[in-house]
Amino acid sequence: MAEKKKYITHDDLRNHNKPGDLWISIQGKVYDVSDWINSHPGGDTIILNLVGQDVTDAFTAFHPGTAWHRLDSLFTGYHIGDYQISEVSRDYRRMATEFRKLGLFESKGHNTLYTLSFIAAMFAGVLYGVLACDSIVAHQIAAALLGLLWIQSAYIGHDSGHYVIMSNQKYNRIAQLISGNCLTGISIAWWKWTHNAHHLACNSLDYDPDLQHIPVFAVSTKFFNSMTSRFYDRKLTFDHVARFLISYQHFTYYPVMCFGRVNLFVQTFLLLFSRREVEDRVLNFAGILVFWTWFPLLVYCLPTWPERFLFVFTSFTVTALQHIQFTLNHFAADVYMGPPTGHDWFEKQAAGTLDITCVPYMDWFYGGLQFQLEHHLFPRLPRCNLRKVAPVVQELCKKHKLPYRSMSWWEANKLTVRTLKKAAYRARDKANPVVKNLVWEALNTHG
């Protein structure tokens, strides 16, 4: 005789959200992840932000088909008695199933081979320009090549962090460390920690680290209330310094992007030297040491200090293109307060992203991230297939009356600067709430 099913409600599930008592549900079945959280390859942040909820859509997005079989050992024996699926979620899951049947998650093309070959060729060009040429023009070309190399290497690190781009997991891990730590000086451990949280809590002001740039930038006036970052677990203080800097953020946006790489270096060291548990800390340190060996030595090979400074400045400035792209994808999109929720996965990703239109032969330049919504909905989908699924995603958004924003690079820049300008003028008004800023009034009255 078959064992009778045991049921709990969503309200019961929500009570299991404390350390040592962490439950989630997937397709109506309840799982206890209290112990598994310490072994979760994606880190604990994703699970902690969604415990006590149905996480079917998020699980579908982040995990391969093989992961479903591992759930059996975590099953509590309970089912959700009042389990329901929205039409959006139903269509999203159906879409993911169809993509899997078509083999789109396994069909990776030759992007990795082409990009790695391109990186190797650029590195050879950088070495030749610095070591074999005396011309300052040649040195500047080499610096620009190095910046482009860092951009393309970051895309390899990004791809390998979401899915296996090599023949197996071991080689994939090596690709992560080389493309991230060794070539760019940015820890893959730091990237995983922040990037997984960003995907899960896309454009949540207090949960998404990619929007938390106080005191330099604020995309929403809600930051003026000195909110607490639930990711960094600290207060984002809106003080006099922050108010001053944000008041001019639409002017400082591009100059700051030129030095965005410095912030990534700092964030890497802050994590690796922190008391937080870091996966493969020693390997991450070793990779960073490789970078901080070859890069200073390369710069020192230049004949004068002015040339060395100019070389570093140029290489960093070229990478600003990538930092700008990352912000274009989200700064001007919709934002919200609070933790991510499992029942509106598709809706939150659609609201918090912005695609960049480009011709197919420029896909290499954007690393696939111009299809930002498609990537957020299917982070494991190889970038060569993002363009293929874009029309299907667009139709689904249209069917459910959800936003699908896609615009040119220049239009996205204008929208992002406009967003920053609006918050900047509000920051100035906050400094003097009685006497309104007449320029801001004029702009908002007449458009």
> Which tens digits make up the pLDDT trace of 195-207?
999 999 999 999 9
In a domain, 204, yes or no: yes
Whole-angstrom Cα distance, residue 219 to residue 419?
6
In sequence order, what are the residues at sequence separation of 6 or more whose Cβ sits closer than 8 angstroms to the Cβ of residue 177? 188, 283, 284, 287
Q: What is the pTM of this model?
A: 0.91
Among 340, 373, 399, give the residue marking a domain's end: 340
In a domain, 398, yes or no: no
Token reading at 241: 């310094």
Model pLDDT for residues 386-425, shown as the tens digit of each residue: 999 999 999 999 999 999 999 999 999 999 999 999 999 9
| Domain shared by 143 and 277, yes or no | yes
| Domain shared by 173 and 263, yes or no | yes
Cβ 254 vs Cβ 260: under 8 Å: no
Structurally, the chain folds into a number of domains equal to: 2
Q: In the predicted model, is pLDDT for residue 104 greater than 80?
A: yes
| Domain shared by 79 and 177, yes or no | no
In a domain, 396, yes or no: no
3-class DSSP assignment, residue 272: helix
| Domain shared by 196 and 60, yes or no | no
Q: In the predicted model, is pLDDT for residue 44 greater than 90?
A: no
| Domain shared by 72 and 131, yes or no | no
Mean pLDDT of the region 85-102 = 94
By residue range, what is the domain housing residue 314?
A: 110-340
Model pLDDT for residues 119-173, shown as the tens digit of each residue: 999 999 999 999 999 999 999 999 999 999 999 999 999 998 888 788 788 888 8
In sequence order, what are the residues at sequence separation of 6 or more whose Cβ sits closer than 8 angstroms to the Cβ of residue 152? 115, 118, 119, 122, 364, 367
Q: Based on the number of CB atoms within 10 Å of its own CB, is 335 exposed (0-12), middle (13-18) or buried (19 or more)?
A: buried
| Domain shared by 129 and 196, yes or no | yes
Among 309, 340, 371, give the residue marking a domain's end: 340
Cβ 252 vs Cβ 421: under 8 Å: no
Total length of the chain: 447
Mean pLDDT of the region 299-309 = 96
Cβ 204 vs Cβ 340: under 8 Å: yes
| Domain shared by 30 and 147, yes or no | no
3-class DSSP assignment, residue 99: helix
Per-residue model confidence (pLDDT) at position 446: 37
Per-residue model confidence (pLDDT) at position 40: 82
Per-residue model confidence (pLDDT) at position 437: 45
Nearest to 161 by CA among 208, 207, 194: 194
CA dihedral 436, 442, 443, 447 (to 10 degrees): 140
In a domain, 283, yes or no: yes
Q: In the predicted model, is pLDDT for residue 93 greater than 90?
A: yes
Per-residue model confidence (pLDDT) at position 151: 97
| Domain shared by 62 and 115, yes or no | no
In a domain, 391, yes or no: no
Per-residue model confidence (pLDDT) at position 228: 95
In a domain, 198, yes or no: yes
| Domain shared by 307 and 185, yes or no | yes
Token reading at 1: 């005789």
| Domain shared by 65 and 131, yes or no | no
Q: Which DSSP helix (H) or strand (E) runs through 199?
A: helix 188-200
Letter string b/e over residues 141-177, b meaning 16 or more CB atoms within 10 A of that residue's CB: bbbbbbbbbbbbbbbbbbbbbbbbbbeeeeebbebbb
Phi, psi of 135 (to 5 degrees): -75, 135
Among 340, 358, 374, give the residue marking a domain's end: 340
Q: Which DSSP helix (H) or strand (E) runs through 234?
A: strand 234-235
In a domain, 165, yes or no: yes
In a domain, 53, yes or no: yes
Average pLDDT along the chain: 91
| Domain shared by 142 and 254, yes or no | yes
Per-residue model confidence (pLDDT) at position 436: 44
Per-residue model confidence (pLDDT) at position 165: 85
| Domain shared by 73 and 137, yes or no | no
Whole-angstrom Cα distance, residue 79 to residue 147?
52
Per-residue model confidence (pLDDT) at position 430: 62
3-class DSSP assignment, residue 28: coil
Whole-angstrom Cα distance, residue 429 to residue 434?
8
Tokens 């090599």 -> residue: 166
pLDDT bin (cut points 50, 70, 90) of residue 112 is confident
Per-residue model confidence (pLDDT) at position 343: 83
Whole-angstrom Cα distance, residue 192 to residue 158?
9
CATH number for the domain harbouring residue 29: 3.10.120.10
3-class DSSP assignment, residue 256: helix
In sequence order, what are the residues at sequence separation of 6 or more whose Cβ sits closer than 8 angstroms to the Cβ of residue 352? 202, 203, 330, 333, 334, 335, 336, 376
Per-residue model confidence (pLDDT) at position 444: 45
